[in-house]
Structure 1
């Protein structure tokens, strides 16, 4: 799992199982409890969810809209437009019921389709609306001071409910209705290529030795990542040699982590990420079908409890749903979705190990200060199939920058020639600021999304003032360097230096960079070349002059993968 891999590989992060108590400790560590009791408002209510009605007896049901990725519309939005979700009466025909009750269920995205299926076939006289919503978004809703408008919650661990309850919410956490084992997931063709060279049940030592491209998230926020790391540490053993191997693995994973491992693997990147058997099963109907690898000894499991939300304990249809989900008839439905019914698959945890891992991860994974710089010279208008280089780059930038965690600070420049107010080759679109910083009612993350999307053919002009831009960016990030952060520059260009206004030669640029380099204020320089006109050797000479790295995507359509790979290399 070294960072130095074959060029066709990227990083992979998303393997093992998660234990119930592990997540309890994790939630406390990463601050859900503190957030729930804090004064800062949460943006969790803005997160989109996908909703569908459930129940039998109505041929017009659109419950199949429940997705595995949680994308879609909020329950309120669906109610407003009346077309994003249909609620359907379950069980017996309406005429056989004295009254029809309404129950809204918030369910983790991977289990939402199964819940829908159970309500369609096994619960009578109740209209169930199943909303696919990640557990952290539900917790964030409580943190904002507004309980969600629902009666039942089925998160991916009892720990989520425990954290919300400890913050004062009157939840009733009932039994675990299902579990799903944690696996290392990859796109099917990537899985076939890598798994073909491994034992049927590889040990962690086998996986590390084979340099399986593993990419993980933040164990303080992604329970599957937490479980994976704990499983890896336990699986590698405690001998002196194993401890060295474990330390090297942890450094590699921490310094190349992403905020959204599931999103990274969904783009088709050749990586493995921590996931569950249920998420793998749900991917069968998506654009990127996944396959799961289970290390020897397993990796734990996620547990899904039945949680009754405040004020809903006595409402009709709630107890009936719990009974149906725990009933024998639901077992086959759970099994078909990659789950085991009930709590028989639940695994214990070691809270001391969780605390130690979290402390270690915090030391190995400092937050980032990144300046992204995009070539907007005239050649970026060039067609690539039915699109353009700048359109591809805009999409790649939006995807890559969106993977940074909230504790990162990110800015954006564009360059060509005569871009700046005083004729500079570069122009600042957004300064480097924390992603959560409010700027006139929008967060920096939202502004970055808009700015990335705004990189279009209307924005491109001029030649490629590459060398002057690199030096200016390097000096800028060095001047704004802050302790406790990893400072880096990721620059993307489709050509060689072609500065019609003059500027530095390659030799002059390298000399200036070497003279400015300061190990006490290190700035990581990452250069990306796109298309057939790039001089990859020249980019490499410039980047390595200050300990940086270069990447090349000869086919512009590969830039998405290369951009994410380059961002992962920012820690060195």
Structure 2
């Protein structure tokens, strides 16, 4: 935590449940004793002595931006802290809590903009890690969690009974599969691009699907079905349930009978509903958890008083009295001890494995791949990939003698596996004078992966072409002319209703002295860009000789992004990350 330390001993004892008047009497008596003993200075320094009516007049004021689901509990805790005269270094801590969607706060911080809050409490560490991974983002410093809530599948009672609740248990794949088999049992979720609940569940589904033969196809089918029943937020997805809790609106195709929700969201729904509520399935292969990380925002600009008060408040939230308060709002405060009352009111019951330990947090790679697959599954893609084939791609980059091209090909094949038969993918390569005076050549025209091509499909043809990529001996890097030609082609063949993009991978800078200049290239790209027909350019600088700054300058002229990888095996991850970012930008979610 650097220069900021925990509050002093007096501040640590600031949570006193006795009436305020009695506390003041005790404080005055203590001051008199200290004064008689000649200890007035010590009393003032410790915060026991107050020259005024209320310490709130000189309070340290904290603004907390929090996920909407945890706001009622935090506001109740903040009010209790005022009643308890919670102090930090002798000054009252005055906390104001504002509801802010986690994804929207993350977008603000990713843009490097300042926040009006000193503390951010998103619903998941997912958002904090996303912001922390971006060097251009506002700094965030997580200092731990004070609450959690597992993610499961909430079902209206009639449908839950048909699935054997509570005695029958399901894995994530089995639960999703049940909704695919039975059209009357419709599953809804919040958009994984905007909701940690949706993303964590999606990652569990894709991870489980990847472990079985044919799982990728099964996962794509589930995503396609689920995408038709997503809402922008966890709050909005609750509005898709039948209007009566029993789920009798079976004939209404717009209503869902099952939802991916956190335990706390179901608790809040059931306790506010007054009807039969929802039953909750806890998947037997483990539930991911929302963990509500308490996070300092732009810590370097916080005053010492603000930092110490922020730490004081989170420590206050972890005290037994505040844990009970959090339980009353449906949150868990311990992984080892589960409050049975919380589970029951959330629709849980034995033998559902509600006390099962939380699954290990998904890696950033797994989360990114799940979100990337979601993006290109729910909206079919048209992407042309352009790969540098200059001689520098033959440089060995692994201990077992693999070249940069070898590792690049393997990573591209991994990326190809995430696309569906409806996606359109093509491949070019480039060096200098590969096709007469042209620096580039079209190896596989951009077509649907499922379309027939000779004795196989477009996917088979691309797999062979990716595998056959070979560096050109003594070939230089004809980057500028190639980029312009490929972008012209991508714009002219724009497919309406699909996510269109151009991906260019290069391990160097332009080496063709007869090509267009960089300034002229950027100008031409801007002229070709059409907001109504967006084709973002994703330019990936591979290896130490590539120029990330130049890649960014060129790509941003189209609304795309410049990326950098030092290890070519990371290319497929970077492609997915860039697709997610570009897709979100195009849909207005970023």
TM-score by length of 2: 0.43
Larger Rg: 2
TM-score by length of 1: 0.44
